[in-house]
């Protein structure tokens, strides 16, 4: 009788409908991957039989295979929404809150996900909706510094400017007069430096043309000239190239070549709440002397005040860039990705997460963009790869298969009823 075949067909068709229903249910789940029921026929084993005329005894579900094809990317307004464009999985780790303090939370099982809907918890860790911490390339939880950035004292100045070669020689500079009188300098500018606590210190520059192809640079802070009122630097230009030939620093040393990038600024003394600023190097290698107006192309310094957390974003290679209100951007972490030799061997555990198995193989870990690892897109999410139209068609086919198997049972019942009614 064919009851066994029809019954197995009903069971398999029912399982197929369950798989299709789960796919449809997760059509709007970010990072979800569709599955499909894969079937295999069944034959009864008989000892000593040739099996040439064997008739199968039905069908079984051989596997429910996950389909790890790329889903579409959709943009969002959340900078911590991250999509993987290519191969790889985010690594997350369960953390058991065994106490109310961060230090005593125990690390648990590592899991993997394609859902990049991340948040920041009360300790500053990047977590997913399950509360699992996102791991870096070196498999450590990523923690953002949200309390602010520390101040940094100025240690280097880069000066890229042009001094007008057509300027007439200025009169003698009188270090007893502040501000300097007109005619004792040709060009002036101001730059803000910072001490170790982040207090701003305005540094004034006065450029005096002291002779043909020669300029003196006087500096002042709080109305007091540095270097005892003498020139902080004297720049001698090569008339053939309009580039610095040499620079005489405040100590009287003559610097040439690569040393032009390491000219020492006279020490700015402490005053009031401000601490002294010493050891600042000035890069004068970009200074020129061409006819035309004296202009500043670049005048930058390395110091900054304390800053508060402003925003963050993720770049395509997984670097977490944290911005502060002082204009400083720091790398707050490096998101890592894991890849598997056989992704279909991963075991789904719910919550848009999988865990590795012997079938999937051990994870290969690297940063995004390396080798076969995909790139990241911040402010975006990967949609489910479920094809809703295709799933509805598959549902119709599975329904018809269920009806057909039910019909074989009905037919077998009618045949058996005919045999029972024979007289």
Look at the block and give the residue holding tokens 């300027």: 167
Confidence of residue 77 (pLDDT cuts 50, 70, 90): confident
pLDDT reading at 179 higher than 70: yes
Q: Is the pLDDT of residue 292 over 80?
A: yes
Residue 135, pLDDT > 60, answer yes
- Is residue 147 very low, low, confident or very high in pLDDT (cuts 50, 70, 90)? confident
| CA distance readout (Å), 126 to 135, 139, 246, 314, 315 | 9, 13, 52, 12, 15
In this prediction, residue 330 has a pLDDT band, given cuts at 50, 70 and 90, of confident
The first and second tokens of residue 284, run together, are: 């004068």
Q: Strand 126-127 and strand 200-211: pairing?
A: unpaired
Identify whether the C-beta of residue 85 lies closer than 8 Å to the C-beta of residue 377.
yes
* Helix and strand numbers, DSSP H then E, in the chain: 2, 29
Query: What percentage of the chain carries pLDDT values higher than 70?
Result: 95
Most confident of the following: 5-14, 386-395, 405-414: 386-395
pLDDT for 97: 67
Q: Are 146 and 126 a contacting pair, CB within 8 Å?
A: no
Residues 6 or more apart in contact with residue 332 via CB below 8 angstroms:
142, 143, 144, 145, 312, 320, 321, 322
For residue 54, the model assigns a pLDDT of 76
Rounded Cα distance, 2 and 413, in Å: 9
The mean of the pLDDT values for the chain is 91
From the number of C-beta atoms within 10 Å of its C-beta (0-12, 13-18, 19+), residue 131 rates as middle
pLDDT in tens, 192-204: 999 999 999 999 9
**What is d(CA 227, CA 36) in angstroms, rounded to the nearest whole number?**
80
pLDDT of res. 47: 59
Rounded to whole angstroms, the Cα distance separating 46 from 377 reads 58
Q: Which residues contact 130 (CB under 8 A, 6 or more apart)?
A: 92, 94, 351, 353
For residue 223, the model assigns a pLDDT of 94
Residue 70, pLDDT > 90, answer yes
* All structural domains of the chain: 3-69+391-420 (no CATH), 73-147+310-382 (no CATH), 156-301 (2.60.98.20)
The SS3 assignment for 46 reads coil
Distance from C-alpha of 283 to C-alpha of 288, rounded to nearest angstrom: 13
pTM of the model as a whole: 0.74
211-247 confidence digits (pLDDT tens) = 999 999 999 999 999 999 999 999 999 999 999 999 9
Lowest mean pLDDT among 68-82, 104-118, 263-277: 104-118
Q: What angle do CA 416, 421, 423 make, to 5 degrees?
A: 135
Q: Is residue 1 predicted with pLDDT exceeding 70? A: no
Angle (deg, nearest 10), helices 3-25 and 388-420: 160
| pLDDT > 70? residue 101 | no
Q: What is the pLDDT of residues 354-409, one digit of tens each?
A: 999 999 999 999 999 998 899 999 999 999 999 999 999 999 999 998 898 888 88
């Amino acid at each position: 009788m064919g009851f066994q075949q029809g019954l197995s067909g009903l069971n398999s068709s029912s399982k197929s409908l369950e798989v299709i229903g789960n796919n449809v249910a997760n059509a709007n789940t970010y990072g979800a991957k569709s599955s499909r029921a894969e079937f295999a026929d069944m034959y009864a084993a008989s000892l000593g039989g040739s099996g040439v005329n064997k008739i199968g005894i039905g069908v079984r579900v051989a596997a429910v295979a996950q389909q790890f094809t790329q889903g579409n990317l959709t943009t969002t307004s959340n900078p911590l929404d991250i999509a993987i464009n290519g191969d790889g999985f985010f690594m997350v780790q369960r953390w058991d809150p065994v106490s109310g303090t961060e230090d005593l939370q125990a690390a648990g099982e590592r899991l993997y996900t394609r859902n990049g809907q991340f948040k920041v918890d009360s300790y500053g860790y990047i977590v997913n909706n399950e509360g699992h911490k996102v791991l870096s390339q070196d498999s450590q939880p990523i923690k953002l510094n949200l309390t602010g950035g520390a101040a940094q004292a100025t240690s280097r100045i880069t000066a890229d400017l042009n001094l007008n070669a057509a300027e007439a020689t200025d009169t003698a500079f009188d270090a007893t007069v502040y501000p300097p009188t007109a005619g004792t300098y040709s060009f002036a500018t101001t730059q803000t430096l910072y001490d170790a606590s982040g207090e701003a210190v305005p540094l004034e520059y006065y450029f005096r043309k002291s002779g043909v192809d020669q300029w003196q640079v006087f500096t002042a802070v709080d109305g007091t000239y540095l270097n005892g009122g003498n020139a902080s630097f004297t720049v001698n230009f090569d008339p053939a190239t309009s580039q610095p030939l040499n620079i005489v620093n405040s100590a009287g040393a003559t610097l040439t070549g690569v040393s032009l990038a390491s000219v020492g600024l006279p020490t700015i003394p402490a005053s009031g709440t401000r601490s002294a600023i010493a050891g600042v190097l000035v890069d004068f290698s970009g200074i020129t002397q061409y006819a035309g107006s004296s202009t500043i192309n670049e005048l930058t310094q390395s110091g900054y005040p304390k800053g508060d957390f402003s925003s963050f974003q993720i770049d395509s290679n997984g670097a977490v860039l944290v911005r502060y209100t002082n204009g400083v951007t720091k790398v707050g972490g490096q998101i890592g990705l894991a890849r598997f030799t056989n992704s279909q061997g991963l075991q789904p555990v719910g919550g848009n997460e999988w865990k590795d198995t012997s079938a999937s193989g051990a994870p290969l870990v690297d940063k995004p963009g390396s080798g076969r690892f995909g790139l990241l897109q911040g402010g975006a999410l990967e949609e489910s790869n479920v094809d809703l139209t295709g799933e509805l068609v598959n549902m119709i086919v599975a329904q018809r298969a269920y009806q057909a198997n039910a019909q074989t049972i009905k037919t077998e019942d009618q045949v058996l009823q005919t045999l029972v009614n024979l007289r």
